[in-house]
Structure 1
C-alpha cells in the first residue's frame, strides 16, 4: 500500500521548525489537500486565515484548497521552486541567474525591488518577462503584509523535516506514524528544557541577528527630529526611523519585527536596550509558551479503543503515470525513500566503472599470457600443427 505524506510545519520564536500536523493520503490531489487544510483550520481555529501566513510550492491542489478554506490567508510561493523553473528555461549552473532571482525576493522595499528588477532586465529581457508572470506579490518581501513579522520566502523547512523522518518512512503506515509522533514528542521536550534554561529577554536567534547588525549600526549617523522620529544615515542614504511606531523606511523592521541596522543605530545613540524594541513573537516568554505543552505519549495498540465499525481494508491503488520513484527494472532501489532531486540540483555522484586489465607477455608481447607461461604458449600451436601433419600422412 502506497501513499503521500502531507505535513504542516511552523516556526517558533527561535526561528526553528515546529511540527504541527501530518497525515497520509492515497494521492496528492485537490480533494485530499482540501481535507487536510480543513482539519488544520478547525483544530487551530484559523477562521478565514486572516493574520496567518502559508509558504508552499505551486502545487495546484494545495492552492485551490487554501483559496477555498482560507481565503484571507497570506499564501506565499516558495522562491526555490520558482527559481528551479526559471533555471530550466533560461540558464545553466554557474550563471548569475540565481543571484538575481534571490536578490529580487529579498527586496524589503519597492525602490530596492525595482532596482533588482532592472538588473534582471539588463541581464536577460526574456527572463524579466517570465519573472513578472509569476505573480510577484506572492514571493517578494516588498509586497508582504505588515504585522505578521515573518520574512520567509521559501519552505526549505519541509525538506529538512523530510530528512529527519527517513527511517520512519521505511516502515508500514501505523509504525511510521507512531515513529514520527515519537520523534516530534522528543523534539518538543528537548526544546522545552532549552527554553527554561535561557535567561535573555529575547531568543538566541534574535541575539545572533542583532550581533550581525552591530557593526553597521555603530557606523550610523543619527539626527533627531520631532515626534520621536530620527534621520539615520548609512552609506550615503538617509532613512526615517520612528521608535514609537517601530518602523523604518527600509521596511526591514516592519516585516521582521527585529530592529534593522538603521533603527539599531538610533537605539544606540539614545543608549537604550535594543531587545526592548523586538517584537513579542521573538521574546523568550513566547518561546517558553510554545513548548509548555507537547505531544501526549501514545499507548500501544492493545490499549486502543475498539468500535463497531468494520475493519479497514486496503484501498485500490490509484493510477500514477510514469515510472515509480526509486524503481529500476522492476526492483526497488536503496534510495527509494529519499526525496527526488530537482532538475537543477546536484546529482548523485556515480562510481566510475572499472576497466578489465589485459595481460601481455613481457617477452613476445602477445596478450592473454605472461613470461611464466611463455614457452607453453609457444609449444601449444607447434603441437597442434604436428598432429595435423601426422594425421594427413596417415590418410
Structure 2
C-alpha cells in the first residue's frame, strides 16, 4: 500500500503520547511538554486537526487507537483504499489516432506560453520527502574542520594578519671605508659617528 510506510512512521512517533480514556470513545492524549488534545476515534477527529485534513490518524489518534488494540488501517479514509483506486480507473480509457487524423478546427491554434527565465541560480537538488534524509558528501572536507597553521611561526589558529612575529627584523646601517683625504689626514666624522666620506649600505638582519 502507498500509505503503509507513512503509517508505520506515525506508530513509532506515537510512543511519546499518553492517552487517557474519558468515555464515549474519546481520549485525552498528552503529548510532549504541556500539549494535550482530545481524540474521538468514533468520529475520527483530533484537536490538532491533522487527522481531519489528511484522513490518516495523527500521532495523538494513533496512540489512542493502539491503546484499544484496534487495527490502525481500519481508521484510514476510504480514498486511500485499494478499492477506491480500482473504482476510479474502472471506466474505459479509449485510445486515439495520430494527430494528423484529428478533425480540423476553424479556431486559432493554441500556442505555448512564452518562456520566462526564473531569477537566481538554477536549482539542481530535488526536494526530499518528509521521511528522507539528505546524505552529506563524504569525499570533501568541510571548512569548519580545517585548522589554519601559519608556516613562518608554526603555530595553529592564526595567519599572517594575526601573528605577533609578522614584523620581521629591524634595519641596520653599515658603512665602508671612505676615501682618504689628499693630505693623508684622518677622516672627518658626522655628529652621529659615521664617516663623512663613507658610503651607506642598508642591510637587513
Instruction: Normalising by structure 1, report the TM-score.
Output: 0.28
Match of 2:119 in 1: 343
Match of 1:220 in 2: 17
Cα deviation for residue 233 of structure 1 reads 1.4
SS at match of 1:205: coil
SS at match of 2:2: helix
Deviation readout 1:142-189 (Å, 9 max, x if unpaired): xxxxxxxxxxxxxxxxxxxxxxxxxxxxxxxxxxxxxxxxxxxxxxxx
Cα deviation for residue 218 of structure 1 reads 2.2
Whether the aligned pair in 2 keeps the contact of 1:229 and 1:240 (CA below 8 Å) is yes
Cα deviation for residue 317 of structure 1 reads 9.4
Large movers: runs of 4+ above 4 Å? 300-304, 311-314
Higher relative contact order (CA 8 A, sep 6+): 1
- Which of 283, 286, 289 aligns to 2:84? It is 286
SS at match of 1:230: strand
Matched, 1:273 2:79: no
Match of 1:234 in 2: 31
Q: How many matched pairs?
A: 122
Q: 2:55 and 2:76 mapped to 1: Cα distance?
A: 6
Matched, 1:298 2:96: yes
Whether the aligned pair in 2 keeps the contact of 1:221 and 1:265 (CA below 8 Å) is yes
Q: 1:299 and 1:210 mapped to 2: Cα distance?
A: 43
SS at match of 1:255: helix
Whether the aligned pair in 1 keeps the contact of 2:14 and 2:62 (CA below 8 Å) is yes
Whether the aligned pair in 2 keeps the contact of 1:341 and 1:347 (CA below 8 Å) is no
Cα deviation for residue 258 of structure 1 reads 0.6
Greater Rg by CA: 2
Which runs of no fewer than 5 residues in structure 1 stay unpaired?
1-203, 326-339, 349-395
Deviation readout 1:118-146 (Å, 9 max, x if unpaired): xxxxxxxxxxxxxxxxxxxxxxxxxxxxx
Deviation readout 1:294-334 (Å, 9 max, x if unpaired): 42111357876x7xxxx64684999x9xxx53xxxxxxxxx
Match of 2:57 in 1: 259
Whether the aligned pair in 2 keeps the contact of 1:217 and 1:264 (CA below 8 Å) is yes
Which runs of no fewer than 5 residues in structure 2 stay unpaired?
125-205
Whether the aligned pair in 2 keeps the contact of 1:218 and 1:268 (CA below 8 Å) is no
1:1-395 matches, within 5 Å, as 204-236=1-33, 237-300=35-98, 312=105, 315=108, 325=115, 340-344=116-120, 346=122
Q: Which has the higher helix share?
A: 1
SS at match of 1:231: strand
Cα deviation for residue 343 of structure 1 reads 2.3
The 1:299–1:261 alpha-carbon spacing in structure 2 relative to 1, beyond 3 Å, is: same
The 1:277–1:341 alpha-carbon spacing in structure 2 relative to 1, beyond 3 Å, is: farther
Instruction: Normalising by structure 2, report the TM-score.
Output: 0.51
Cα deviation for residue 282 of structure 1 reads 1.1
The 1:346–1:224 alpha-carbon spacing in structure 2 relative to 1, beyond 3 Å, is: same
Whether the aligned pair in 2 keeps the contact of 1:239 and 1:248 (CA below 8 Å) is yes
Whether the aligned pair in 2 keeps the contact of 1:257 and 1:278 (CA below 8 Å) is yes
